[in-house]
Structure 1
């Protein structure tokens, strides 16, 4: 059983890398077969179709995100925002995950199978709900100053973070992510008189 789990995990890791590199339509089971060193039939054993594979990947990605965000719950709101941005700055900087899988898949929504669209939207809903709660708590405590509703600030934060990922990739400059996102956090954290 452990070997099946390890193979499945390796297939998912490879798929994530391939999606980040070229999107949903930018890879095939042949690419995974070559990278992981297994036959395509073995991949089909674990994931009968590409839809099953990517749906499983995105669902797991969302669960990992939820777990990571839950670990930030004890921190102050501004520190939660900083931790989120610092996580991505580090991932982009060292190349471990230069782009959010769901953000990348969101750019391909019109071309994705409906099952994957549902999973990607579920990820965005989780992220939005978390950020909205962070913004609400920060506003209530007086540690964050919002220009609009907590929800609109959360959506602005999401759009800024994902746009910063795109800019870092477009310019080939990983430092752009922090250059774009950290000032937004500081503006939110500024207490206005």
Structure 2
């Protein structure tokens, strides 16, 4: 028996469909079939697709950032980087999903402005956290970083997002591991 509310189910399925197909790759009809409701019921919870996707981004962002911030700050920077990279491995699921915000970033030209801003905020939060981690790792001699920490955080985040796409393409998780190995002092 389903214990989640219809609203929770709609958000969960919307997140999955976005991670698999992108913003333009699903409709309310798809969601209605998955949840077992009429499309008019979806409009009750989310009057527009923008409302639904914005809430899906907000929930995904809150949960993902909470996991990132929960990484034990007493660990060395290289171990925290490994833990962070495992979050990307979790995103892959069975190997067919991409980070929700990464997938939406690819659809940026068709996103409503509020969704675009939420995706940008998610990227910036991750880039900032990684920049601080890289600065600490450089200072402690556990991570190799060239350039300033802010730019390095952006480069690392872009590399991890690209690694998720390549992992999906080639059906392997090793792409994510290769990115983190490139930053470690050997």
The two structures share one fold, judged by TM-score above 0.5: yes
SS in 2 for 1:148: coil
Task: Give 1:176-187 correspondences, 5 Å limit.
Answer: 178=174, 180-187=175-182
Structure 1 residues 83 and 123: alpha-carbon distance in aligned structure 2, compared to 1, 3 A threshold: same
Do 1:144 and 1:190's aligned partners in 2 also have CA atoms closer than 8 Å?
A: yes
SS in 1 for 2:5: helix
SS in 2 for 1:62: helix
User: TM-score, normalised to structure 1's length?
Assistant: 0.87
Compute the displacement of 1:87 (Å).
2.8
Structure 1 residues 113 and 90: alpha-carbon distance in aligned structure 2, compared to 1, 3 A threshold: closer
Equivalent position of 1:24 in the other structure? 23
Equivalent position of 1:53 in the other structure? 52
Compute the displacement of 1:162 (Å).
1.2
Equivalent position of 1:189 in the other structure? 184
Structure 1 residues 90 and 28: alpha-carbon distance in aligned structure 2, compared to 1, 3 A threshold: closer
SS in 1 for 2:98: coil
- Aligned mates of 1:130, 1:51 — CA distance in 2: 28
Equivalent position of 2:80 in the other structure? 80
- Aligned mates of 1:165, 1:146 — CA distance in 2: 21
- Aligned mates of 1:188, 1:16 — CA distance in 2: 31
User: TM-score, normalised to structure 2's length?
Assistant: 0.90
Do 2:134 and 2:149's aligned partners in 1 also have CA atoms closer than 8 Å?
A: yes
Equivalenced residue count is 183
Compute the displacement of 1:165 (Å).
1.4
- Aligned mates of 1:120, 1:97 — CA distance in 2: 21
Q: Deviations over 1:141-173 (max 9, x none)?
A: 2222211211222112111111111112223x1
What is the alpha-carbon root mean square deviation over aligned residues?
A: 1.9
Structure 1 residues 184 and 22: alpha-carbon distance in aligned structure 2, compared to 1, 3 A threshold: closer
Do 2:89 and 2:176's aligned partners in 1 also have CA atoms closer than 8 Å?
A: no
Do 1:89 and 1:174's aligned partners in 2 also have CA atoms closer than 8 Å?
A: no
- Aligned mates of 1:19, 1:131 — CA distance in 2: 25
Which one has the bigger helix percentage? 1
Task: List runs of 5+ in structure 1 lacking aligned partners.
Answer: none
